[in-house]
Amino acid sequence: MRRTKPSIIALCGVLAALALALMFLGGTVSLAAIACPVIASFVMIPVYSECGLKWSLIWYIAVAALSALLTPQKEAAILFVFFGYYPMLRKYIGRLRGKALRRLVKTAYLNAALAAAYGLMYFVFRLGSVVADFQEVGKFLLLAGLLLANISFLIYDVLIGRLEILYHLRLRPKLHL
């Protein structure tokens, strides 16, 4: 079904509001600062599927900017800036030949994005909670956290694929989009 520009804008607006509401939940519990950007990034699946690349980028920029400006938990906002577009990026990484190459690119992306995100939080913005966390734990625990982040990211990657299938087979027909 061909989408009209007003229907695309409306869909993107409603889904951006949903993602922003999820980002606001990041300030409720300390672990939610990591979980809420991940959950908010799942909202990009219908945006990308229904509206395409151009509107997905506009949606992502709008949600990232509003999250950075409005949400009380800045750690969650910065994590969304670095990981919120991954469901869209995943489609392009999936086009690479060879499973090992795809996995290597995904792992390199994760580690580079984590280093950039937490480097920005620690050195540029000097976010108190992040600085305190880094000063309390030793290098061994930071490396263990990085290992757990890599394992969690693999699960997140598989979950995105499953949610895309679930969206297309179950949810989309019921929404009549």
Percent of the chain with pLDDT over 70: 95
Cα–Cα distances in angstroms (integers) from residue 43 to residues 18, 38, 137, in the given order: 8, 9, 33
What pLDDT does 36 receive?
92
Which parts of 71-171 fold into alpha helices (H)? 74-83, 86-93, 99-119, 128-136, 139-166
What pLDDT does 31 receive?
74
| pLDDT for residue 42 is more than 90 | yes
Segments forming the whole domain that contains residue 46: 5-175
Average pLDDT estimate for 97-109: 95
Cβ atoms of residues 96 and 169 within 8 Å: no
Kindly state the tokens that stand for 25: 């939940």
Query: Where is average pLDDT lowest: 11-20, 68-77, 82-91, 117-126?
Result: 117-126
| pLDDT for residue 102 is more than 80 | yes
pTM of the model: 0.88
| pLDDT for residue 88 is more than 70 | yes
- Count the domains in the chain: 1
Average pLDDT estimate for 146-158: 95
| pLDDT for residue 74 is more than 90 | no
What pLDDT does 124 receive?
81
pLDDT band for position 131 (50/70/90)? low
Considering only CA atoms, which of 32, 56, 58, 34 is closest in space to residue 45? 56
pLDDT band for position 18 (50/70/90)? very high
| pLDDT for residue 164 is more than 90 | yes
Residue keyed to tokens 């969304």: 80
CATH number at residue 171: 1.10.1760
